[in-house]
Amino acid sequence: MKIRNILIVGLLLANTLFAFTGRVPVYAKNGMVVSASQIASDIGRDVLKKGGNAIDASVATAFVLAVTWPQAGNIGGGGFLVFHPKKGDVTTFDFREKAPLAATEKMFLDKNGKILNHSNHDSLIAVGVPGTVAGLYKAHQKYGKLPWADLVKPAVELAEKGFPLTWKIYNDVTRYNTEELSRFPTTINKFKNKNGDFYQPGELWPQPDLAATLKRIQKNGHDGFYKGKTAKLLAKFMKENGGIITEEDMAKYEAVERKPIHGNYRGYDVWSMPPPASGGVAIVEILNILEGYNLKATGHNSALYLHLLTEAMRRAFADRAQYLGDPDFNKNMPLQMLTSKDHAKKLRAGIDLFRASVSDSSRFNQAFDEHNTTHFSIVDNEGNAVSLTYTIEQWWGSKIVAEGLGFFLNNEMGDFNPIPGYTSSRGYIGTNPNLIQPEKRMLSSMSPTIIAKDGKPVLVIGSPGGRTIINTTLQVILNIIDHGMDIGQAIEAGRIHHQWLPDITKYEKWQLSPDTRKLLQNMGHKMVEKSGTQGRAMGILIDYENGVLSGAADTRSPDGGVAGY
């Protein structure tokens, strides 16, 4: 018993020595936009100042990000939007990519049932039918105030005239991704001038093909992308280079408005995306489990705190693998059960305070049953809030730009379970809900979330980062509610990630003290230092008592910025 008591004390006191103190938040009174690009945030804020609402600012911000943040800002991918209006019901828009009509369950496998040449990520057949334009247009048609053409105009002008190339984009192209981006001349030439030289940092970088694509969207809305010249050019490029998306695929695509996932944590309402996004279900499930512990007393990023987080993450990600997929193809997903307090109580009962659980990869083998993304948060002067996350999957997506279109194509087909029935300790999942089918939306980890109190949004948050998105967003929420941090501190603090399989806990460098890591290892956790950072959260905190908005763009996102007024 003495050893056990000593361990308890050690767990409670072993707090991280290296946690960031947090950047100073940006404050404003009326409206605010936080995104991965300062230029995009500025333009979104300008829309708010001109009388636009949060949806209008979302449209303008998203299209500008397609110009200024090509690594992840997109019109060649898809995503999710959570809208908390000042009055009325919270709603969401699902514009996740779809599998083309020619897609098949085993399309990425060789004759031996193995993935062929990483084709589920590194090929044109990995491209899903894009959804971003459809989603933005649908949300605007229902809730927008300003004219569509006016909202797309800033992106058109930036693409046409150019903007000063940032060091981040320049380095990503010329130092880290040159070989991959050079597979198609249409891709690498996007970054070169008429002399064949790369545009330099600070030089105006025009994107004429992208400008032409955006002009068609500006003039014709949804049909300016899914029909006519854009659809024809994309289908032609696909046919000539081994892809499978056709004009019919483009014409059939529609975004969907869906009922949000709702939970309650320590008196706060949690609003997030339903499937095919898994983030809402997972975040509510994890919060329900953790609600049974006094997290404030355990200490932020102490060994006990991180142990509890890991165990809750492990259980939610196991449920994610077993149950979640596209709701249009999985009619009986037990969402109410997964997000219930009773389910969390049962899962909590299986957590040992002194020993790590084991993730069993054989659990789903019997039945045939990061990545790049960007997030922005917006609050307008009426009290409407938008949390929007969209993606092209990996950094630069498929790393392919189609002839004449100017935007990067996603490689989202890699988010389907590639090998039916095969789940491994390395992290492959083979469960039925997320197997490939034509027109099916692939499961996502995107987690745009709005936390509310007494019917009013108080925190707008989200992040990129593949499967780490769920846990990044979760930890910012905990930092605010349980640990009383301001938005800057909450976003900058060190993070961990566990996703059930592989059975490892990843942590950011310099964020955990050696003794904390040792205690976790002694409990049975396999601790692995991340090669880079985890996520790039963008958040806004609303203080109604003082009438102030505070926002922070994660310093893990070099070009990110906050704009308020």
Phi first, then psi: give them for residue 104, nearest 5 degrees. Answer: -135, 160
CB atoms within 10 A of CB 360: 14
CB atoms within 10 A of CB 122: 16
Note if the bond before 502 is cis, omega within 30 degrees: yes
Residues 305 and 313 sit within 8 Å (Cβ to Cβ): no
CB atoms within 10 A of CB 342: 9
Q: In this structure, is the dihedral angle defined by the CA atoms of residues 149, 153, 155 and 156, taken in order, positive or negative? A: positive
Residue type, position 384, single letter: N
Assess whether 468 carries a catalytic annotation: no
Q: Report the distance separating Cα 206 and Cα 209, nearest Å.
A: 9
Both tokens of 31, joined, read 């409206």
Spot the catalytic one: 310, 373, 468, 472. 373
**Pairing relationship of beta strands 496-497 and 26-28 according to DSSP bridges:** unpaired
**Pairing relationship of beta strands 548-553 and 538-543 according to DSSP bridges:** antiparallel
The arrangement of strands across the sheet holding 26-28 comes to 26-28, 548-553, 538-543, 456-461, 449-453, 268-272, 261-265
Q: Supply the residues annotated as catalytic.
A: 373
